[in-house]
Structure 1
Amino acid sequence: MPHTQQLLSSSLLLLTSVIALSAFAEADTQHYPVDIQSCNRTVTFEKQPKAAVSNDVNLTEMMLVLGLQDKMVGVTGISGWKTLDPILREGIGELPELSPKYPTKEVLLGADTDFYFAGWNYGMKVGGGVTPETLAPLGIKTYELTESCTHIMQKSKASMDDLYVDLLNLGRIFNVEDRANKLVKQYQKELQDFTTTLTPLPRPVKVFVYDSGQEQPFTSGEKGMPTALIEAAGGRNIIDDVAKSWTQIGWESIIDRAPEVIIIVNYGDVTAQQKIDFLSQQPALQDIPAIKNKRFVILEYVEATPGPRNIEAIKHLAKAFRS
């Protein structure tokens, strides 16, 4: 009798598992196909990607925050420029870095990739060897980072909606819409709750974003995520009239616009302190209010680019603008 009960119990467990798997498969089938807007393209996904690759730290964190590690075969474009954050390293787990910088088609094919999450200047270059057009014949679907669409089409000023759209689209692509919707609502509420508690400023603080460069500074314009972060925190990007995401500009323009705060984007071989030292030691820049008053605020690369850490970046900036 106990043996019979054990067999019956095993059979019920097996039947329950089969029913659960069938229900999951049916839900999966009902969800697809889905049409996703990616920059100026409509991409149709007939099924859930099973071998995804993300490029860069911020895009990878979007995948991780949605719990998509088990749908990934690797990452690219991290260690060639940046030190892997301990939090990100833990989240990636055993996933390999397939390429330290931008991948080639051969690298993606070698991993049997079926989905590539990248952006223009975030893993792809206009006219380069890896683009949605070159990957499509290989059976690799591509979704482009919304902020980066400005490189190939007309796009409005960067906003937090750029991040939300990407998370929601990834949710639809991977059939985790509920997860994505909850996350976006959480971010929106957290940001709204925070901004309502802020002490109003008499006027927006004038802010300059310094990424790198000595002959000419590399900075972020109207289309870059820093503009959205700065505005949400109560500031104004001093080059928000430049219709670029990331670009070079002359030092003369920075001097003329007299920023009150300078954001240092921290990554790569040159440390944030070395960047601050460079700016502080330039005779031509000494009358800039931010330099004169030593008002620097450091954002990690992963905070300054579209990704899950943008809300914390806004909080950090808001505090710096009011100190």
Structure 2
Amino acid sequence: MKTLWSTAIVLGLAGAASAEISVDNCGDTLTFDKSPERIVVHDMNMTDMAFALGLQDKIVGLTGITGWYKTSPDFDTQRGDIPELAPKYPTVENLVAVSPEMFFAGWYYGMKPGGDVTPDTLAPFGIKTMVLTESCVHMDKDRPEATMDLLFDDVTRLGTVMGVSEKADELVSGWKEQLAAIEAKTADQAKPRVFLLDGPADAPFTAGKFAIPDAMIAAAGGTNVTHDMDTSWGRSSWEAVAASNPEFLILLDYSNGDGAEGTFKFLQEHPVMQHTDAVKNGRWIGLRYEELTPGPANIDAIQKVASAMHPDLF
């Protein structure tokens, strides 16, 4: 009996150990004893990931949605009655008030290095932070260049932590099939020079080699003219962009003000950009914020860009 009792204890301990959930988190390890029952998600793109995995019943609050963006009817339907705790960046108090076990956010996606809300400031309240992988470069410059794995791996990580790995794997598998079909059509085509612009400004805010649009442009059969920027999102100069003579433009459309059309008009009147091939030929597409930050909307956005750049192929 003593031997059987001892064996039961050993097996019980082994079972408890195997229930632990661990995923990579910007090079560190994020560990849970069990899947969280209460989470807060920041921003449209990460919320879309959670919705795609059917996690609405685990979300006790959203942050960073209405302060910047106009939501779609589909987003509103999926959100239901989930409250928004803060329209832009949350405070520690906003988060602690709903007692979450996890905050899904990123650097400059709800958190700022040295800011009030960071994994370190949330930890004393029992809140663990899953960090959006694209944003890790702000804390660790030794990161690989962007690929679509930024999306795939984050959805897989979220699925693992939340106990819906099978759903995550199914989503990622389908997305990879979609991208393979696009890439097969554009593989032998010339790759247009593409410039992404986040609105009119004195200096262009755009995507460098660590931002997911860099990988999206490549997947759509183009070349990002700001690929050499050693950052994810950052500022270039109009002279440098004009010198690269982009042939196609991706314009971020916030659905407020004049949107992407207003941005294109700005470029038509710009002293150097008006002379680029993309502006002269009117070759551009407007994409929403959630289509250009890591999230499920990336896949259809790649299809849109590929179709606009290579209309004869689609």
Q: Say whether the fold is shared (TM-score over 0.5).
A: yes
Question: Over aligned residues, Cα RMSD in angstroms?
Answer: 1.5
User: What displacement does 1:52 show?
Assistant: 0.5
- The answer for unaligned runs of 5 or more in structure 1 is 1-27
Question: Hey, what does 2:84 align to over in structure 1?
Answer: 97
Alignment of 1:197-208 (within 5 A): 197-198=185-186, 200-201=188-189, 203-208=190-195
Could you tell me how far apart the structure 2 residues matched to 1:169 and 1:215 are? 38
- Please, which of 48, 51, 63 is the counterpart of residue 61 of structure 1? 48
User: What displacement does 1:268 show?
Assistant: 5.8
Alignment pair present for 1:259 and 2:231: no
Could you tell me how far apart the structure 1 residues matched to 2:238 and 2:186 are? 32
1:68-115 per-position Cα deviation (integer Å, ceiling 9, x unaligned):
111110100011111112111111111011100010000001111111
Alignment pair present for 1:173 and 2:151: no
Contact 2:21/2:35 (CA < 8 Å) preserved in 1?
no
TM (normalized to structure 1)? 0.88
Question: Hey, what does 1:147 align to over in structure 2?
Answer: 134
Contact 2:182/2:220 (CA < 8 Å) preserved in 1?
no
Contact 1:31/1:175 (CA < 8 Å) preserved in 2?
no
Alignment pair present for 1:129 and 2:123: no
Question: Secondary structure of 2:275's match?
Answer: coil
Alignment of 1:17-96 (within 5 A): 32-96=19-83
Could you tell me how far apart the structure 1 residues matched to 2:187 and 2:161 are? 40
Aligned-partner residue type, residue 292 of structure 1? K
Aligned-partner residue type, residue 239 of structure 2? E
Aligned-partner residue type, residue 294 of structure 2? P
Alignment of 1:291-310 (within 5 A): 291-310=279-298
Aligned-partner residue type, residue 45 of structure 2? N
Alignment pair present for 1:312 and 2:300: yes
TM (normalized to structure 2)? 0.91
Could you tell me how far apart the structure 1 residues matched to 2:158 and 2:211 are? 21
Question: Secondary structure of 1:252's match?
Answer: helix
- Please, which of 229, 241, 247 is the counterpart of residue 216 of structure 2? 229
Aligned-partner residue type, residue 245 of structure 2? A
Question: Hey, what does 1:283 align to over in structure 2?
Answer: 271
Could you tell me how far apart the structure 1 residues matched to 2:217 and 2:33 are? 39
Could you tell me how far apart the structure 1 residues matched to 2:146 and 2:72 are? 25
Could you tell me how far apart the structure 1 residues matched to 2:213 and 2:268 are? 22
Contact 1:147/1:223 (CA < 8 Å) preserved in 2?
yes
User: What displacement does 1:61 show?
Assistant: 0.3
User: What displacement does 1:188 show?
Assistant: 0.9
| Identity across the alignment (%) | 41
Alignment pair present for 1:274 and 2:278: no
Alignment pair present for 1:183 and 2:171: yes
